[in-house]
Amino acid sequence: MNAAVRAVVRTALTGGAEVVGIQRGWLGLSEADAKPMTSRDVAGILHTGGTVLRTFRYPDFTGAAGQEKVGRALKKLKLDGMVIIGGDGSFRGGAVLDQKFDLPVMGVPATIDNDIPGTDFSIGFDTALNIAVDAVDKIRDTASSHGRIFVIEVMGRSCGLLAMEAGLSTGAEEVIVPEIPFDLDAICQRIEGGYDRGKQHAVILVAEGAAKAPYIEYELKSRLKRSIRMVVLGHVQRGGSPSASDRMLATRFGVAATQMLLAGERGKMVGMVGSRVKTTALGSRSDAARKQVLAHQEMLRLLT
């Protein structure tokens, strides 16, 4: 996100605009908490995790009272346009700003879940995927030396893409995702079949939106006479220095969204489609992420 903030600030300044950074997301906006941003304010942040603007979960904005508060803050701030960096919830809010409050908004997709319609990738996904892959590779060393089964829970909210791609990238035996109903008896049969064919261990990834790892561990322990452990990767997946690929994505998105906003475009989100930056309407819907998970699952079955 910081790479995107830097790109937005510097592109806007170069384009002759004044820039303020809204602190703590929607909560900060509702309190008109905006800080002037210079080029120096975004120096040295490209490689850092988190966001210098900070953020906040703010469900209040979905209600009338929250929206009124934001409306009052917008009058005070006198903004001419806004770039919103976030996920689908942020863009639903962005559509309200654009349509109800007539504030031109451009969106930049950022979530490790990679479930935003209109882009092949969102900022953070590649970094989180690499963190998960690194963790699973390390856990596999113990799985292999102890001949154990490991159940590893991966984030992703209601989308299984992060878990699925982590599974494909680490050669996991099973990946449990919310998009596909799972059958624990069938999973156990496949795992035992693997041992019969000479496998010495098994790694099962479970997307947090499908089930919790302790539950899967408990159920497997009641069905299999094997040593089983579980690990929840948790928020470690949301931190650390971003991958080069995420830095590039964030930079391209930040520059493009800001240039478009300065050129008078609004109500859209930038996205990467193929290798090009394209736009879609803010808050669009699609089941592309789901289809991708299903296609990946077919590939996984071919390979295990």
Active site residues: 113
**Residue 206 Cβ, how far from ligand F6P at the closest point, in Å?**
13
Q: Which DSSP state fits 242?
A: P
* Start-end of H helices in the chain: 2-14, 25-30, 64-77, 88-99, 125-146, 161-170, 184-196, 213-223, 244-262, 288-303
Of 36, 40, 57, 64, the residue at the interface with ligand F6P (CB under 6 A) is 57
In three-state secondary structure terms, 211 is coil
Examine residue 153 and tell whether it contacts ligand F6P (CB under 6 A). Answer: no
Q: Which DSSP state fits 118?
A: T
Q: With CB under 6 A as the contact rule, which of the stretches 41-49, 73-81, 151-159, 214-222 interacts with ligand F6P?
A: 151-159
**CB nearer ligand F6P, residue 81 or residue 156:** 156
Examine residue 111 and tell whether it contacts ligand F6P (CB under 6 A). Answer: yes
Spatial strand order in the sheet of 82-86: 82-86, 105-109, 268-273, 276-281
Strands 268-273 and 276-281: antiparallel
**Residue 208 Cβ, how far from ligand F6P at the closest point, in Å?**
6
**Residue 261 Cβ, how far from ligand F6P at the closest point, in Å?**
25
**Residue 187 Cβ, how far from ligand F6P at the closest point, in Å?**
23
Of 24, 92, 157, 199, the residue at the interface with ligand F6P (CB under 6 A) is 157
Residue pair 255/177 in contact (Cβ under 8 Å)? The answer is no
Of 12, 27, 112, 136, the residue at the interface with ligand F6P (CB under 6 A) is 112
Instruction: Name residue, tokens 């079955």.
Output: 301
Q: With CB under 6 A as the contact rule, which of the stretches 43-51, 105-113, 163-171, 190-198 interacts with ligand F6P?
A: 105-113
Examine residue 129 and tell whether it contacts ligand F6P (CB under 6 A). Answer: no
Examine residue 238 and tell whether it contacts ligand F6P (CB under 6 A). Answer: yes
Give the Cα separation of 258 and 83 in Å (integer): 7
**Residue 124 Cβ, how far from ligand F6P at the closest point, in Å?**
8
Residues 6+ apart with CB under 8 A from 104: 80, 81, 82, 98, 261, 264, 265, 266, 267
C-alpha of 7 from chain center: 19
Q: With CB under 6 A as the contact rule, which of the stretches 20-28, 111-119, 183-191, 199-207 interacts with ligand F6P?
A: 111-119
**Residue 114 Cβ, how far from ligand F6P at the closest point, in Å?**
10
Binding residues for ligand F6P, total number by CB under 6 A:
10
Residues 70-89, interacting with ligand F6P (CB under 6 A): 87
Residue 2 one-letter amino acid: N
Residues 208-237, interacting with ligand F6P (CB under 6 A): 208
Find residue 152's DSSP bridge partners. Answer: 205, 231
Q: Which helix (H) or strand (E) holds 83?
A: strand 82-86
Of 156, 160, 271, 283, the residue at the interface with ligand F6P (CB under 6 A) is 156
Q: Which helix (H) or strand (E) holds 202?
A: strand 202-207
Examine residue 206 and tell whether it contacts ligand F6P (CB under 6 A). Answer: no
* Half-sphere exposure in the Cβ direction for 257 (13 Å, CA): 34
Of 70, 73, 131, 155, the residue at the interface with ligand F6P (CB under 6 A) is 155
Residues that bind ligand F6P in the complex, under the rule CB under 6 A: 57, 87, 111-113, 155-157, 208, 238
